[in-house]
Amino acid sequence: MAEALDRLSRDQEHIAGLFKTLTFRGVALVTVAEGEVNELHVGLKGTMNALFLKDLGQKTRRGLEGRVRAGRSAGGLSFGYEMVRQVNARGEVDAGHRRINEAEAAVVRRIFEMFAGGTGPRTIARILNEEGVPGPRGRPWRDTTIRGHKARGTGILRNQEYIGRLVWNRQRFIKDPATGKRVSRPNPPETWVITAVPDLRILDDDLWTRVQRRLDDIRESEGVRKARETQFWTHRRPETLLAGKVTCAVCGGAMISAGKDYLACGRARAGTDCSNRKGLRRGPLEDLILAALKDQLMAPDLVEDFCVTFREHMEAQRVQAQANRKTVEADLEKAERKIASLIDAIAEGFRSPDLQTRLDTLSAHRDDLRAKLSAAPPALPPFTVDLATLYRQQVGRLHATLQDPKTRQEAVEHLRTLIEEVRVGPPLDRGGREVELIGEIASMIELSLGAHAKKAASGEAALDADVRRSVKVVAGTCPAVM
C-alpha cells in the first residue's frame, strides 16, 4: 500500500517493472489516490509522474539561473566566503547572499602566490596541513582540492569567483539507468551563465593570469600531454589480489596506485599530515601473502593435522553408513517376518478388514525398505590413499593456478573473498615494514619472516626489502605478532 504511485517512483521504467514483478508474485498494489492499481494506472499515471518530474527539474533550473543572474549563490559555498542571511521587506529569509571571509581569503591568496612562485599543489597541501590550516569544510588539504579539474572548473586555482566572476551551468547530472548513480556531463560553453560579482573579488588579475598560465603550461607539457593522449582512464585493468584492500596503518586511508607497480598512501600523496609517505611495490606484497599461504600450508604439522582430521571424518562417515545399512536390514527382516505371520493367519482361515489393512501397511513399509537398500551406496572401504601426497599436490596447484594467465583471475577472485583488509605501516627504523592482515585468510596462515628471509638469501624468492619484514596477523586464534 502507498499514498500514490509517485511515492514509489516517478520513473516509468521502474514503476512498470515493479508492477510487473508484483503481478507475477500475486501481490496487489493499492494506493490511496488510485485504489487498486492496474495496467491503465501504470501507463497513464506513470507518464504523468515522469512529466511532472521533468517539469519540476526545469522550473528548479530556471529558479537557480535567476539567482545566479542576480549575483547570488545557486547552492554550495566556495572556500573564502561565508553566507549572509538577510530578511526582505516581507519578513522572509532572502537566501543566497555571501560575503568574503577574510581569514579564508588570506589562505586563498597565499595558495595562489605559492603556486605562481613554483610550488606544486601537493607541497602546498602538505605545508598547510603541517601548519594546521583547516581546509574546505574543515577537512585536511589535498592536492586535488587545490589543483582541481580544468573541464569542470573545480579546485582553488581554477575558481573564477575569486576574480569576481560567477560561472554556473558548466555541467549537468543525469542518472545512469544501469546503476542508478548520477553521472556528470559537461555543458557547451555557450550555455554557461556568467555574472559579474565584483564585491566577491579576492585576487587581482595579474596573480590570476600568472597562475592560469602555469596551469596551462603544465597541462601542455610533454609528459602530461602523452599521458592524456593514451586516455588511460578508459582502460580497465584486471583486478589484482589486493585491489581496494590495502590501507595505511597510520591514517586509515586507502593505499592507491603510485605508478605502474607501486602502492602509496593516497592521503600522504595528496599532501595531508600522514607520515606514511614512502611507497612499496605491489607485486612483492602479493607474492609474500601467496607464498606464505602456500609455504605454511605445507608445514609438516598442518599436513599431519589434515591427514588425521580427514581420516577421522571419512572413517566416521563409513561407520555411520554401515550402521544405517544394518538398521535398515534389521527393519526389513522384522517386517518380512510380520508379513509371513499375517499370510499364515489368512491361510488358516482368519478373515477381517483390520488384518488385511495391517498386511497392506506392512507390505508398503517392506517395499520402502527394499528401495532404500537398493538406492544406498555400498559401505565405504577403509581409506587407504596417501593423504600427505594428495594434500601436497593440491596445495602445490595453488601456485601453478595463480601463475597461469588463464586461471589466475578466477583464483584471485576466490582468494579476495578471504581477505578483508591489509594494513601497511611506514618503514621501520630497522628496515622493512609491519603489515596487518585481516580476514578469513589470516586464520589459515602464519606469515613467517624466517622462511622468507632464507629463501631470499638463497635466491629462491626475490622479495623486495620493503616487504621482507615482521608481519602482524589479526584474525581468530591466529598469533598476533610474528
Same domain, 43 and 128: no
Is residue 108 located within the same domain as residue 171?
A: yes
Could you say which of 386, 402, 417 is where a domain stops? 386
Are residues 176 and 319 both part of a single domain? Answer: no
Overall average pLDDT of the 368-395 stretch: 67
- Highest averaged pLDDT of the listed ranges 29-43, 101-115, 340-354, 366-380: 101-115
Residue 100: which pLDDT band, with cuts at 50, 70 and 90?
A: very high
303 or 191: which leads in pLDDT? 191
Average pLDDT over residues 93-113: 90
Are residue 292 and residue 304 in the same domain, yes or no? Answer: no
In which band, very low, low, confident or very high, does the pLDDT at 292 lie, cut at 50, 70 and 90? low
- The reported pLDDT for the residue numbered 381 is 54
3-state secondary structure of 371: helix
List, as one string, the DSSP characters of 41-101: HHHHHHHHHHHHHHHHHHHHHHHHHHHHHTT--SS---TTEEEEEEE-TTS-EEEEEEEE-
Q: Indicate whether 333 and 402 sit together in one domain.
A: no
Residue-wise pLDDT tens digits, 261-280: 888 888 888 777 788 888 88
Q: What's the rounded Cα separation, in Å, for the pair 226 and 229? A: 5
The band of 52, judged by pLDDT with boundaries at 50, 70 and 90, is confident
User: Within a domain: residue 159?
Assistant: yes
Residue 299's nearest CA partner among 391, 415, 387 is 391
Separation of alpha carbons 193 and 68, rounded Å: 8
Decide: pTM greater than 0.85. no
Confidence of residue 471 (pLDDT cuts 50, 70, 90): very low
pLDDT tens by residue, 411-445: 777 777 777 888 888 887 766 778 887 766 555 54
Confidence at residue 362, expressed as pLDDT on a 0 to 100 scale: 84
Q: Which domain holds residue 178?
A: 81-86+93-229
What pLDDT does 268 receive? 83
Name the one residue in this structure whose C-alpha cell is 579539474: 149
Calculate ∠ Cα 457-460-463, nearest 5°. Answer: 70
State pLDDT tens for residues 167-196.
888 888 888 877 778 888 888 888 889 899
**Mean pLDDT confidence for 98-116:** 93
β-pair partners for 185 = 172
Q: Out of 144-153, 433-442, 453-462, give the one with best mean pLDDT.
A: 144-153
SS3 168: strand
Report which of residues 288 and 299 the model is more confident about. 288
pLDDT band at 140; cut points 50, 70, 90: confident
Q: What is the pLDDT at residue 149?
A: 85
Say whether both 359 and 431 belong to one domain: no
Establish if 192 belongs to a structural domain.
yes
Residues 118 and 53 in one domain: no
Q: What is the pLDDT of residue 319?
A: 81
Assigned domain for 364 exists: yes
- Provide the domain count of the chain: 4
Output the pLDDT for position 114: 94
| Pairwise CA distance, residues 217 & 213, whole Å | 6
The residue from 182, 198, 229 where one domain ends is 229
Q: 302 falls in which pLDDT band (50, 70, 90)? A: low
The full 3-state SS of 251-302, as one line of letters, equals CCCEEEECCCCEEEEHHHHCCCCCCCCCCEEHHHHHHHHHHHHHHHHCCHHH
Q: Which residue has the higher pLDDT, 469 or 119?
A: 119
Secondary structure (3-state) at 438: strand
363 with 397, same domain? Answer: no
pLDDT digits (tens, 9 = 90+) for 196-247: 999 999 999 999 999 999 998 888 888 777 767 776 556 555 567 788 888 9
Within a domain: residue 366? Answer: yes
Mean pLDDT of the chain: 78
